[in-house]
Structure 1
Amino acid sequence: MLAKEGILALTVPRRPTRPIRLGTVTIGGGAPVVVQSMTNTDTRDWRATVAQIRRLEAAGCELVRVAVPDGEAVAALPLIRKHISIPLIADIHFDHRLALGSLEAGVDGLRINPGNIGGADRVKKVARLALERRVPIRIGVNSGSLERDLLEHYGRPTPEALVESALRHVRLLEDHGFGLIKISLKSSDVLTTVAAYRLLASRTDYPLHLGVTEAGTAVQGAVKSALGIGILLAEGIGDTLRVSITGDPVDEMPIAWGILRALRLRERGVELVSCPTCGRTEMDLIGLAEKAERLFRTVRTPIKVAVMGCVVNGPGEAREADVGIAGGRGTGILFKKGRMIEKLPEKELLSRLVREVEAMTGEAVDPERAEQRGNDPSDRIFPD
C-alpha cells in the first residue's frame, strides 16, 4: 500500500507557534511544514512568471514569492494571481507604496523589513491595510543587509545581531497592533543560521521560515540547505522552508521534499533509490536514473522507486521499494517489493517502469512533456 501524503511521526515535538494563514495555506500552529520558493523571472512579464509558478506548483511548491521592484511589477500582480492556484507573496524593499499597491492587487502575503520602507507613518499605513485584509507579513533578516549600528555593535552578522534585527522589525509592526507575522533569519553560513534560529525560537512564538541564503549552485545549495534546515527541523524548529540554489527554482523542490521525507515530517512524490554503480554495472545506469528522476518529478503520490544496475543483487538491495527496475547486459527486470515481475529488453525498462508507476499512483507521467518542461512553448499559453 502506498503511503498517504501528510505528516508522519517525529521523535522531537514541533515547537509551538501561533498560526497564520496565507490564502488557503496555514503556517504554524502545528500545521504541516510548508514548502515555498521564489521566481527568478521578471515579474513585469506576467506570462513568464505564471509559467514558472505553474512548473513550481507541479513540482510541489505550496507558496510562491515574486520580486516587486516597481509600479509595473505591482500592475502585473492581479494577472499573476488570477492564473495561479497557490498563494502569492510580494517581496518588497524600500518603498512602502509598493507594499500598499501589492495589498490592493490582492496578494496573500508580504515580505518586507519595516525598518527600510520609511518612517513610522509609512509602516503604520502598510500594517493597517495588511491587517484590514488579513495579509501576513514576513520579516526577512539577511546577514548581507544587516543594519549598520548592529554591525558596529557586534562586529559582524552574529546570531545575536540577526535576532536583534528581527525583533526590532517585529516591534515596529506590533506598535501598530499587527501580529500576523512570520520571521526568517538567513545567512550563507550554516552554523550562524542554526544558532540564530535557535536563539529566536527561545524568544518568540511567531512561526519561522527556514532557509540558508546564497547557498550556491545545486550541489552546494543542497548540502547547506539539508544541513541547516534539517538540523532545525529535527529539533522541532521551523514552519516553512525554502531551499535556495543558483538556478531554476523548480530544482529546489526535490531537495526541499527530500529534506522533509528524510526527517519523516511529510511525504510527497517519488523517492528514488539507485545504486552508486560499480565495475559490475553493464548499462547506462547513471543516465537511466537521471532520466527517471526527471520524469517522475511531478508525481504527487508518495512512492519509493528503485533503479538498480545489477539483476542479481538489485531487487534484494531495494527490497523496500514499491517498484523498480534492475538492468544487466542488454536486459533487465521489473520488480515489486524485491520480487521479479517481468523480464524486459534494456531499452524497454524505463517505459515499463513509467507505466507501472502510473498504474500504482493513478497519475499520468508524460515522458515527452517532462523532458521538455521549462522550454515548452505551451507553458506560455494562457486563457484570456
Structure 2
Amino acid sequence: MATNQDYQISPSSWNRFEECPRKYWLSRQGLPRKASMAASSGTAIHNTVEDLCNLDISDRDEGEMGWLHSTAREALERNWKAERQEFLGTPRHPRWKSEMFSKAHDGLIGALGFLFEKAGLSKRELSEVSIQSWRQVQDIVLETEATLESDCGRMMGRLDLLLLDPSSSEGGVGWIVADLKTGRPPRSGLDEKVRRQLLFYRDLAKQRSPEQNSITAEGWYSSNETIYVAHGPSILEEAIDAWESMKVTEEPFQATPSESACSFCDWKAWCPDWWISRSEGLLDGSRMFRDEVTELVRLDHDSGAALFERTTPTDQEGSLEGSDYRFGAILKGKALEQIKQFEQDESGGYLFLGSVRVDGTIVHMGDWSEILPWAPLLKSTSY
C-alpha cells in the first residue's frame, strides 16, 4: 500500500543525483525551465506513436491500404504544433527549428518499424500497411505512456510502451517494457543511465504484476533502428537507498563537477562550484561552444558588437571580481535582445553567457545562446 511522501524518485531524478547532487538539488528549486529541440521533437514522436497505438479503427475495412502514411503524418503534425506551443511558452528556449520536422518524421517511421517487428510483421512502407496489419500491432500493445508507482509510493516512472512478447520462451506470453529513444544510439552497450532507467521500469512492472514470469526491458533507438536489451538484477532496493539521500535540504547538496555532469547542465547560472572548477582548469574551457560568467563592458546596439570581461571567483559562494581577460563578441537575434533588456533594466551585475560559439578569435552569440543573471543559489527556495 502506497504511503504519502513529499517526493518520489524517478529514473531521471536518480540519474541526475548520481551525476551531481548539486544539479539534482538545483532542479528541485523551481528555477526557470529550459526547453530543447531534441526533447520537444522526441516528445512529438512519442505522443504520435501513442496516438496511433490507440487509434480506433474498429469500423474500417481490414484490407484498406494507404491510410497509415497520411494518418501518421497528420498525427505528427498535430503533436509537433502542440510541442512548439509548449516550447515557446517555456521561460528559457532557443529558436524553434521547423526544419527538424523531416528528421522527426524519419524517427517516427523507425519507431513504427519496431512495432511491426514485435507483431511478427515484415518491414514495409507505411503506405503498404493494411488495417488488418495495424490491428495485429494494436493486439500486442497492453499500455501506452503508463505510469508505474511502487507499493511504497517512493518510486515512479512513465514507460512508453508495455507490450505482449509472443516470442517469449519462459512459459506463457511474456511482456516487453519498451522505451523509445530518439537520440544518439550507444556505440556498444547501453549507457549506465539508460540501463538503470529500463531496469527501473521493468522492476516496477514486476512489482505491480508479480504473477508475470517474464518481463524484458528494451531501449528502442530509432536513429539506427536497433533494439538494446537491459539485463541485471532488481534495482529497487538501490533506488530506496538513493531516495533516502535525495530529500531536499535547506543547504545545497555537494557539487561533483565533471565534464559529463556540467556540459549539459541547465543550472550553471545558479552554481558557483561549476565556475570555480572552470576557473581552476578542472573543466575544459576551450571548446567551440562554451559558457562564460562575465561583466558587460560595453555594447553597440546597432551592430551588436559587445565587449565582455571574464570574471574570477573569490570564494566558494559565487562572489566574483574582474580579471584582465576581455573578449569581443557579435550578438544577433535573441542574444542581442536579451543583452539590450539587461541594459534597459539597469540591473547591473554579472552575467552568465550560455553556449557562446568561438570561431578563432571571434565569439558569436545568437538564437542558440542565452544570457542570464549570475545568481548563485545558496539556500533552498522550497525548503
Larger Rg: 2
**Could you state the TM-score of these two structures normalised by the residue count of structure 2?**
0.27
TM-score, with length taken from structure 1 = 0.27
More helix by share: 1
